[in-house]
Amino acid sequence: MIDELRRASQYLLGLNIPGRLLSIYPDDTFIVSYPRSGNTWMRFLVANLLHSEAVTFRNIEQFIPDIYIHSRRYLKNLPRPRILKSHEYLDLRYSKVIYIVRDPRDTALSSYYFHLKQRQISESLTIEEYVGQFVGGLVWSNYGSWGQNIGSWLVARGSRVYVPPLGNSMTGIFGSWGKNVSGWLAARMGSPGFLLVRYEDMIASPAVELARVARFLNVDCSAEVLNRAIERSSAGHMRRLEEKESRLWELTKSTRQDMPFVREAKAGGWRTGLPASSVLAIESAWEPVMRMLGYEPAVQACSVVTHLSGGSF
């Protein structure tokens, strides 16, 4: 009863964390991705592109706030137009979206170590066990205080998108990698107000990709400004900032300090970091969408039937 009264008072005062129930304005821009796909890096790049003040973990929330950290009142009172961070599954209210996608094999590996850092899983949980939950969409099903909701999904081989009504859910799960990515791509790919950016392309050609982002944001900038933003957002620079500011940023201050938030920041780490059974589980679940995005499977996953593949797409 006390908890219910506390939650009710927080809501009435606008002190609750909005997540999916965020009030959205037509001039909002969202940086969206499945967790551990490069969202924080993109936030640094965009913030450093738009502001002369160097971006750090101390001030990133001032420039591009996280809708899972700040209160509804705080976000509502921000100057417009807002640029916000989100991991939500398909939300058609988002009119302008920079969507970052990453190879799910690397995403799973990064997610595993992030949850270890957050003490949300035990070190006794093997990577194989974790990937089984990752494929099933379970590892992000209770991010913070968020409840259980199915999320948007693309029906396998049917190309039909189901978008659940907002209803009265206090917000929802991010779903599996396949559900989150497929929902956004099926509904928004090629449409105005949607820019798809691959994490791997950001690594290979940061200037090219950031220039695409600048054009999408209608920002006219010089090569000097682009290069400055890239340098201030490099993995090495962000690691040095993390060493000094990890205890000051909301996302990392209460986590294990012996494990970094900014890890290797590379593509293809799954080749040595994931066991073959985990690679197969991911590829069996999402081979079609992986191929569409240029992530070639290491094995012919579609020819293998596993207990993880049913209903995971």
For 198, the 3-state DSSP assignment is strand
For 153, the 3-state DSSP assignment is strand
Strand order, beta sheet including 194-198? 83-86, 29-33, 97-101, 194-198
For 182, the 3-state DSSP assignment is helix
Question: Using a CB cutoff of 8 Å and minimum separation of 24, what contacts does 54-58 make?
Answer: 54/232, 55/232, 55/233, 56/241, 56/245, 57/241, 57/242, 57/245, 57/246, 57/248, 57/249, 57/252, 58/245, 58/248, 58/249
pLDDT for 264 equals: 83
Domain positions in the chain are: 2-303
pLDDT for 299 equals: 74
Which of 272, 267, 274, 271 is CA-nearest to residue 128? 274
pLDDT for 95 equals: 96
pLDDT for 300 equals: 57
DSSP at 55: P
pLDDT for 251 equals: 85
Which of 293, 263, 308, 284 is CA-nearest to residue 110? 263
- Evaluate the CA torsion angle 239, 240, 243, 249 in order and state its sign: negative
Low-confidence ranges of the chain (pLDDT < 70): 1-13, 15, 141-172, 300-313
Type and span of the H or E element at 32: strand 29-33
pLDDT for 153 equals: 27
Whole-angstrom distance, CA of residue 102 vs CA of residue 248: 27
pLDDT for 148 equals: 27
| Choices 3.40.50.150, 3.40.50.300, 2.40.30.130, 3.40.30.10: CATH for 2-303 | 3.40.50.300
Whole-angstrom distance, CA of residue 280 vs CA of residue 216: 36
- Evaluate the CA torsion angle 226, 30, 177, 186 in order and state its sign: negative
pLDDT for 265 equals: 81
pLDDT for 15 equals: 66
Residues 6+ apart with CB under 8 A from 297: 283, 287, 290, 291
Whole-angstrom distance, CA of residue 141 vs CA of residue 131: 14
Residue with tokens 């090629």: 190
- The reported pTM is 0.84
Structure tokens, 54: 């160097």
Residues 6+ apart with CB under 8 A from 258: none
